[in-house]
Amino acid sequence: MIKKIVIIGGGAGGLELATDLGDKLGKGNQAEITLIDKNSYHIWKPLLHEVATGVLSEQADKIDYTTQGQQHAFQFIQGAFTDLNREEKQVIINNSNNESVSVPYDILVVAIGSTSNDFGTPGVKEHCIFLDDQNAAIRLRETLIAKFASFCSIIDKNEAKDEDKIRIAIVGGGATGVELASELPHMVETFGSCGRNKMCSELLDVSVIEATDRILPALPEKTALGITKTLQQRGIHVLTNTMITKVESDGFYPKEGNTINADIMIWTAGVKAPDFLKEIAGLESSRSNQLVVKPTLQTTRDDNIFVIGDCAYAMQDSGRASPATAQAAHQMAKICYENIIKKLNNKPMKLFKYTDNGTIISLHDTAQGVVKIAGKGEMNVKGFFALMIHRLLYRMHQASLLGIVKTIRFVKASKQMYKNTFTSIFTHQD
Ligand SMILES: Cc1cc2nc3c(=O)[nH]c(=O)nc-3n(C[C@H](O)[C@H](O)[C@H](O)COP(=O)(O)OP(=O)(O)OC[C@H]3O[C@@H](n4cnc5c(N)ncnc54)[C@H](O)[C@@H]3O)c2cc1C
């Protein structure tokens, strides 16, 4: 009988896997490939801060799952994964009609990514905005624009005092917090250029709050200090050694020192796998709810279930699990693809070994980071060259989904579409 391969989560890892398996097995009817996602379209998560600040339009840059499935021989079901029945080999989803339905599988891949971790800090859920998916990014953009618009009308009525500012505080000095902060001054300037010429980046008061002694722990100290300097030159406060213990409607309360008052509070301090994944159907899970996998990426307690990306806990020789990054999700998708084919052919499987190719942080019109080259060590990269590499990573992800020719066409079309959506985002919302 034809095997049913079900992939849950069409993100950085899952959509690449569904596309590759569809091309290889779906097209020849050697297996039935199904992708399930709670959303109807894919946006590459590392660019969510650009969606949130209007630099990237979700309309122009989205990949529609149904269309992708038609072109790459997989079927798409929109629904949220809620439970798993391993005995019956069925996943339970809440479909787009809000009905609970079961989807049978022979091989299952869980690739549902991660969500923000508030580490149990009181008030975070009630008062902070997260950047977990495209819907959250769109909500953040709407909140920012609404705040800019209301501040603008205060200025127009001459009711603003000299010291009045739009206070935005971001907890978490990782890539997400830093990249988001660096887009905000540009966002206000763009807002100002769309008919509100009194709005400028000087009216912003942005803080990045970090519990440890420096931002960007994944980068060498020198590079992280360089990025801190760039942020400070743009008027962004970088508050290190600042552990937030409570959040209330007026701001963040650190363990020591004064309250950090803010109009908009954003929480980007770490991730965990969704809570419902913890020990789901008796599978082994980590402290952050990730499902523990063997080096083949199969779960430790069920060989028919693979896990990739942020929700996989894949221990490495270094004694640490592979990181929750798009880079790791992409590498896992490639190994998982090969291992599923090997499993179907009863061949020995490959072992996943994470390769760190470096980290680049985009800072709106520049970027900074390190690139690691096998056998040659680490190279610091900075400026336009680093920004180009950062951009190239996104285009490589698109090329693996669409092919090179379509990616070039996509880039051209999205640039045009982007201009239209960009203007409408900033001009029609008051
Ligand atoms: C702003 C930002 C910047 C980042 N920058 C970088 C970077 O520069 N480099 C880097 O390597 N990484 C970066 N990351 C991290 C990177 O985005 C993630 O590690 C990566 O996307 C994980 O891939 P994934 O496939 O595991 O999950 P995701 O890409 O998050 O995909 C998960 C998919 O599962 C779906 N889903 C979730 N829950 C359910 C459910 N219950 N049912 C059905 N579907 C579900 C989601 O809709 C989504 O499509 C960044 C993240 C953010 C937020």
Same domain flag for 362 and 312: no
Pick from 76, 112, 75, 41: nearest CA to 308: 112
- To test the pocket of ligand 1, the residue of 15, 140, 325, 398 to mutate (highest count of ligand atoms within 8 Å of its CB) is 325
Asked if 66 and 14 sit in the same domain, the reply is yes
Do 258 and 283 fall within a single domain?
A: no
Atom from ligand 1 closest to the CA of residue 13: 25
Go through the chain and tell me how many residues it has: 430
pLDDT at residue number 196:
73
Q: Do both 293 and 222 map to the same domain?
A: no
* CA–CA gap between residue 280 and residue 276 (Å, rounded): 7
pLDDT recorded at residue 181: 98
133 lines ligand 1 (CB under 6 A): yes
- d(Cα 51, Cα 251) in Å, to the nearest integer? 25
Give me the pLDDT at residue 429, please: 52
Q: CA-CA-CA-CA torsion for 230, 233, 234, 240, nearest 10 degrees?
A: 70
CA dist., res. 417 & res. 363, Å (int): 24
State the distance from the centre of ligand 1 to the C-alpha of 22, rounded, in angstroms. Answer: 21
Residue 225 clears pLDDT 60, i.e. is over it: yes
Give the strand pairing for 367-373 and 377-382. Answer: antiparallel
The reply to whether ligand 1 has any atom less than 6 angstroms from the CB of 310 is yes
In this structure, is residue 353 part of a structural domain? Answer: no
Evaluate whether residue 305 is within a structural domain. Answer: yes
**For helices 383-402 and 14-21, what crossing angle results, to 10°?**
40
Q: What is the mean pLDDT of the chain?
A: 93
- CA–CA gap between residue 68 and residue 74 (Å, rounded): 8
On whether both 216 and 294 belong to a single domain, the answer is: no
Q: Answer yes or no: is 185 within a domain.
A: yes
Q: Average pLDDT of 210-230?
A: 95
- CB-count burial class (<10 Å; 0-12, 13-18, 19+) for 255: exposed
Q: Which of 95, 112, 135, 332 to mutate to test the pocket of ligand 1 (most atoms within 8 A of CB)?
A: 112
Does residue 39 have its Cβ closer than 6 Å to ligand 1? yes
Structural domain containing residue 69 = 3-114+273-344
d(CA 259, CA 425): 33
What does the alpha-carbon distance between residue 366 and residue 390 come to, in Å, rounded to a whole number? 10
CA of 326 to the centre of ligand 1 (A): 7
Structure-model confidence comparison of residues 410 and 97, the more confident one: 97
CATH of the domain at 323: 3.50.50.60
Kindly tell me if the per-residue pLDDT of 345 is higher than 50: yes
> For residue 147, is it within any domain?
yes
- Find, among 8, 18, 6, the residue nearest to 72 by Cα: 18
Q: Are residues 158 and 201 in the same domain?
A: yes
Give the domain-ending residue among 242, 269, 296. Answer: 269
The total of other beta-carbon atoms located within 10 Å of residue 68's CB is 21
* 289 confidence band (pLDDT: 50, 70, 90): very high
Q: Which of 17, 42, 45 to probe ligand 1 with, by most ligand atoms within 8 A of CB?
A: 45
* 203 or 206: which leads in pLDDT: 206
The count of other CB atoms within 10 Å of the CB of residue 360 is 25
Residue 232 lies inside a defined structural domain of this protein: yes
Out of 288, 315, 344, a domain closes at 344
Give the per-residue pLDDT at 405: 82
14 lines ligand 1 (CB under 6 A): yes
**Positive or negative, the Cα torsion across 24, 28, 30, 31?**
positive
239: amino acid identity, one letter: L
Show the CA angle centred on residue 109, arms to residues 105 and 111, nearest 5°.
Answer: 140
Q: Mean per-residue pLDDT for 197-208? A: 87
pLDDT of residue 377: 86
Q: What is the pLDDT of residues 49-58, one digit of tens each?
A: 999 999 888 8
Which residue, of 225, 250, 269, is where some domain finishes?
Answer: 269
Instruction: Express each pLDDT in 410-430 by its tens digit.
Output: 777 766 665 555 566 666 554
Instruction: Give the whole-angstrom CA distance, residue 9 versus residue 292.
Output: 17
pLDDT at 208: 98
Question: With pLDDT > 70 as the criterion, what percentage of the chain qualifies?
Answer: 96
Q: Whose CA is nearest to atom 3 of ligand 1?
A: 46
Question: Considering the domain boundaries, does residue 351 fall inside one?
Answer: no
Compare 393 and 83 and report the one with higher pLDDT.
Answer: 83
pLDDT score, position 430: 47
| Residue 7 CB–ligand 1 contact under 6 Å | no
> Is 160 a residue whose pLDDT tops 80?
no
Instruction: Identify the sign of the CA torsion 345, 351, 356, 357.
Output: negative
pLDDT of residue 416: 62
Q: Are residues 321 and 392 in the same domain?
A: no
Q: Tell me which residue of 308, 300, 301 sits closest to 339, measured CA to CA.
A: 308
Measured in Å, residue 405 CA sits from the centre of ligand 1 at 25
The type of residue at 287 is R
Q: What is the pLDDT of residues 118-158, one digit of tens each?
A: 999 999 999 999 999 999 999 999 999 999 988 888 887 77
Percent of the chain with pLDDT over 90: 80
Residue 257 alpha carbon to ligand 1 centre in Å? 34
pLDDT of amino acid 409 = 77
CATH number at residue 183: 3.50.50.100
Shared domain check, 92 and 16 = yes
* The pLDDT of residue 65 is above 80: yes
Same domain for 43 and 129, yes or no, is no
Low-confidence winner among 77-81, 228-232, 413-417 (lowest mean pLDDT) = 413-417
Number of domains composing the chain: 3
Say whether both 164 and 215 belong to one domain: yes
Q: Mapping DSSP to helix (H, G, I), strand (E, B) and coil, where does residue 280 land?
A: helix
Question: Chain centroid to CA 243: how far?
Answer: 24
**pLDDT band (50, 70, 90) for residue 359:** very high
